[in-house]
Chain A
Amino acid sequence: MSDTQPIVVIACEVFKEMLAQAMPPELAAQITYLDYGLHRTPNKIVSSVQRLIDEIETPSLIILGYGLCGSGITGIQSRHHTILVPRADDCITMFLGSRQRYYQEFESEPGTYWLSKGWLESGSHPLKEYEEYRKKYGDKDAMWLLDQQYRHYKRLVLVAHSQDDLDHYRTQAQAVAQFCERWGLRYEEILGSDNFLQQLVAVAQDLDKADGNFVIIAPGGEIRLDQFMF
């Protein structure tokens, strides 16, 4: 199927390096990375991705480099294309390398706040929020608001698929960790892998290899929550 269809990649910028390593450049006819910041208002993911899909004329296999991202990708329509998307709740699953690993980590400590390249660079973490809130509401209210959001968390984890990324983001992550000490969060680092992304690239070249870790949307279909849930 994908032998005859061009492959188009639409992915969150957070996967840029991982995808560049996993995907031979000649394989994809077109690769577009979208801003991480879209994650903070999930509706924007749908409209941005849909606009790109709608611009593609030749029926293609579209690899969507996104997780479910808090229902952020539900509602995307395949039109006359086929969409291949990893069956992952979010990018943390992709950095860890498998769904099983994510569920294990989740189960061992539900109160985990994950920090990754994207989260650190898009500015969505407690320390950055503190700076934003303080400007808008003053110090006392800013701290109160953050207490409401983060008081139940137990662990702050920097996750990356490579040791290089862990080393690169450590200083930033530790600054966030220091701030989060007020809620007693302990800091950890987890080295994941790019296994899941490698599988995605392999499946893109042969859709018959798709197992329960992937969702395929046929032409005329739509991404729905239940394809990921059940």
Chain B
Amino acid sequence: MSSVLERLSTAVIAGDAENSVKLVHRALDKGMDPKDILDNGLVPGMDEVGIRFRRGDMFVPEVLMSADTMSAGLDILRPLLAAAGTQLIGTVVLGTVKGDLHDIGKNLVGMMAEGAGFEVIDIGFNVPPERFIDAIKEHQPNIIGMSAMLTTTMRAMGHTIRAIEEAGLRDKVKIIVGGAPVDAEFATRITADGYGSNAPSAVELCKSLASAS
């Protein structure tokens, strides 16, 4: 790993968006491959953020600033990756369920999934079941990821899965769920295919589900 990529990882960990933008440009100026900058600069930084967060050495505000930093870097790389025809490993549709407007966790999963090589379709927050169904029809994703932050709105995850079943689309997608009050038992109970307890583990889950499908 060249030092510019190491410094890029460090900028992501520190949440220094200004510096990360400069470093991405510098790496590109050096003729480095956008995929290399993503995989060996931005992503390892964010992976380390995930590790520190789970260890309790970083808190949500710092994680958000790191995510914003990675996002700033991704914004520069995205068109270049697309132009280079970089192979995507699958498509993920993400949304926060009906009645719930918390999107921090969902956005984090989206950004990290994009970093991992997925096409991410973010359909927003307070998303009713029919919009998840429309998104399945339109984008034919491998995976639907649903988020809820409140016990009040968790029930909407089950309702959404039922609506997807009734629309005859359940076998077309894998469905994963997450959010602060959600647990694995709840995910099983509502017949989701998986549960991510945090953003990095949700992305790992997406990878294993996409490779199995």
Contact = CB atoms under 8 A, between A and B. Distances in A.
B99 A107 contact: yes
B64 interface: yes
A54 to B, nearest CB: 23
A90 B181 CA distance: 12
Interface in A79-131: 89-90, 102-103, 106-107, 110-111
A103 B125 CA distance: 19
A98 B153 CA distance: 17
Interface string A61-73: 0000000101100
Contact residues on A (Cβ < 8 Å of other chain), bracket: 20 to 34
A229 B101 contact: no
A187 interface: no
B122 interface: no
Interface residues of B, number: 24
A153 to B, nearest CB: 7
B101 A152 contact: yes
Interface of B: 61, 64-65, 68, 99-104, 125-126, 150-155, 180-181, 183, 185-186, 189
Contacts of B104: 148-149
B185 A70 contact: no
B151 A71 contact: yes
A206 interface: no
A145 interface: yes
Interface of A: 68, 70-71, 74, 89-90, 102-103, 106-107, 110-111, 133, 136-137, 141, 144-145, 148-149, 152-153, 224-226, 228-230
Majority-rule SS of B interface residues: helix
Contacts of A225: 151, 181, 183, 185-186
A149 B151 CA distance: 18
30 contacts: A68-B151, A70-B150, A70-B151, A71-B183, A74-B183, A89-B151, A89-B152, A90-B151, A103-B152, A106-B99, A110-B99, A110-B100, A110-B101, A110-B126, A137-B61, A141-B61, A141-B65, A145-B64, A148-B64, A148-B104, A152-B101, A152-B103, A153-B101, A225-B181, A225-B183, A225-B185, A226-B185, A229-B154, A229-B186, A230-B189
Contacts of B155: 229
Given A133-B61, A137-B61, A229-B155, A89 B185 contact: no
A229 B152 CA distance: 9
A196 to B, nearest CB: 16
